[in-house]
Chain A
Amino acid sequence: MNEPTPVHTTPSNKIIVTMGLVASICGVLIVAAYESTQDAIANNKRIMVERAVFKVLPGAAKVSEYVATPSGIQALTGNVPDGGVKFYAAYDSAGALKGIAAEAAGKGYADMVRVLYGYDTQCQCIIGIGVVSMRETPGIGDKIITDKEFLKNFDALDVRVNAEMSALMNAVKVVKHGTKQNAWEIDAIAGATVTTKAVGRGINESAQKLLPLLVPHVAELKP
C-alpha cells in the first residue's frame, strides 16, 4: 500500500491459477472436515434432543420424531412439511407410550424463549417444561428455570382439546402473580412477567396447533 505504483502487473492468468489453486485446497479441506465430523454432530444433536425430552417426561427411555399434519401423523423423515408440526413421542423401557414432547417459542425480553413441554395423553395436560434456549436477563428472566412455584404450574396444566377437535377447550393464559384459579392458567413470576408471558404464549400457540391434529390419532403412536 505504501509502495509506489507498481511498474509491472501480474498477468491475469497467473492470478486466476493461483486463486483457483488456493480455492481447491480449501474446498478439499472443508469437505474432509465435513465428512469426518458429520456423524459426531448428528449423534450430538440426537443426544441433546433425548436429554431434553427425558427431562420433561421423566421415566422415558426412547424417543422418536413424528410430524402431525391435517391428514394424520407419521414418523418424520427429512424436513417438516408445510402445515405440519413436529413432535417427539417418548416411550418407557417396556415400550409403552410415556408422553409427547413438543417445542414452543415466544418472544421474550431479549430474544425468543424456546421451551420444550411434555404432554401426557392420559390427563391431556402438560406435565413439565424445560428451556431449550433463551437470552433473558440472568437473575430475572432465568427464574423460569429455577422458580419452584412457577414450575408447579406445569405439574398438570390443562390443555384438553374441544369436542370438535378444532382448538383447545380453554386457551392457556398467563395471569398476574397469585391470581391463578383454573388449571389452564399460568401464575406469572412477579418481576419476570415478560418472560413468563413469552412461555405462556408460546405454549398456547404450539398446543393450539399441535394437539387438535394429534389427539384424534394418539392411538397410532403405539410402537
Chain B
Amino acid sequence: MSLKKEADEGITFDTFMEGVWRQNPVFVMVLGMCPTLAVTVSAVNAVSMGVATLFVLVSSCLLVSLIRNLVPKEVRIATYIVIIATFVTLVDYIIQAVSLSLYEALGAFIQLIVVNCIILGRAEAHASKNPPLKAVINAMGMGIGFTIGLLALGATREILGAGKLFGFSLFGEHFQPWVVMVLPPGGFFVLGGWLLLFSHMRSRSEKGAAHE
C-alpha cells in the first residue's frame, strides 16, 4: 500500500522545507496567483495576507488529517471545502476585530482564501494521507513559503512604487514614486522579475548537478 508507506515515513526537515523552498507555492508551483498579484501593494498587506492564509492552511490541514479515516472518499472534497470555509470565516472575523483598515485593504481577498488552490491542494495531496503532526509541519512550511513569496512581491512593489518599506520612508522627499508598480500591471512586472530570477537559479543548479 503506497498510502500506508508514505504515512509511515518519518518527519524530516524536508517535510517543512518542501513548501518554503523546493516546492514554494509562489515561485515554483505558481499557485494562488490571485491574492499574490492583488494584495501585494505593500509589505504590510502582503504579510497579513500570508499570515491569514498560513492560519487557514495549518488549521484546516490539522482537521482534515484528524478526520482522514472517517471521511468517505465520495464526499472528501465537499468536506474539505466546508472545513476550509469555516477557518476562512474565523480569519475574517479575527481580522475585523484586529484592524478594520487592514480588513478594507485586503477586501474580498480574505473570503477568496476559500478557493486558494494551495489550501485545497495541501488538504487533498498531503493532509488526507498523513498523520496530524506531519500534516501540520508540512502545511506550516507551505504557508511560510507563501508568506515569503508575498512579502518578496509586496516589499519590492512598496519600495519601487511608494519609496517606503512597512510604511517607513526610505529615500527622503525627493523620491519620485514609480506609481505603476503599485497598480495592477506592476504586480505582473514584479512577479515576472521574481519568477525569472528563480528559474534562472534553478536552471543553474540543474546544470551544476549535471556536470558532477
Q: Do A and B actually bind? A: yes
- Which residues does A use to contact B, with CB under 8 Å? 6, 9-10, 14-15, 18-19, 21-23, 25-26, 29-30, 33-34, 37, 40-41, 44-45, 48, 133, 137-139
Contact: A33 with B94, CB < 8 Å?
A: yes
CA distance in complex: A34, B93 (Å) = 7
Contact: A19 with B94, CB < 8 Å?
A: no
Determine whether B96 belongs to the interface, using a CB cutoff of 8 Å to chain A: yes
Q: How many A-B residue pairs have CB under 8 A?
A: 69
Which of B67, B74, B182, B183 has most A Cβ within 10 Å?
A: B74
Q: Find B75's partner among A6, A19, A26, A139 (CB 8 Å cutoff).
A: A19
Residues from 33 to 91 in B contacting A, C-beta threshold 8 Å: 63, 67, 70-75, 78-79, 82-83, 85-87, 89-90
Given A19-B78, A23-B82: A137 touches B97 (CB 8 Å cut-off): no
Given A41-B96, A41-B97, A48-B100: A10 touches B74 (CB 8 Å cut-off): yes
CA distance in complex: A23, B179 (Å) = 46
Chain A proximity mask over B5-39: 1 for CB below 8 Å, otherwise 0: 00000000000000000000000000000000000
Nearest CB in chain A to that of B87: its residue: A29
**Dominant SS at the A interface?**
helix
Given A15-B74, A41-B93, A133-B104: A22 touches B79 (CB 8 Å cut-off): yes
Interface size class of B (residues with CB under 8 A): 20 to 34
With a cutoff of 8 Å between Cβ atoms, the chain A residues found around residue B161 in the complex are 138
Q: Find A30's partner among B67, B70, B89 (CB 8 Å cutoff).
A: B89
Determine whether B99 belongs to the interface, using a CB cutoff of 8 Å to chain A: yes
With a cutoff of 8 Å between Cβ atoms, the chain A residues found around residue B121 in the complex are none
Contact: A26 with B74, CB < 8 Å?
A: no
Q: Find A44's partner among B78, B89, B97 (CB 8 Å cutoff).
A: B97
Contact: A30 with B100, CB < 8 Å?
A: no
Given A22-B79, A23-B82, A29-B86: A10 touches B73 (CB 8 Å cut-off): yes
Given A19-B78, A37-B97: A10 touches B177 (CB 8 Å cut-off): no
Contact: B72 with A15, CB < 8 Å?
A: yes
Contact: A33 with B90, CB < 8 Å?
A: yes
Contact: B90 with A29, CB < 8 Å?
A: yes
Which of B89, B90, B104 has most A Cβ within 10 Å?
A: B90
Quote the shortest CB–CB distance from B130 to chain A (angstroms).
19
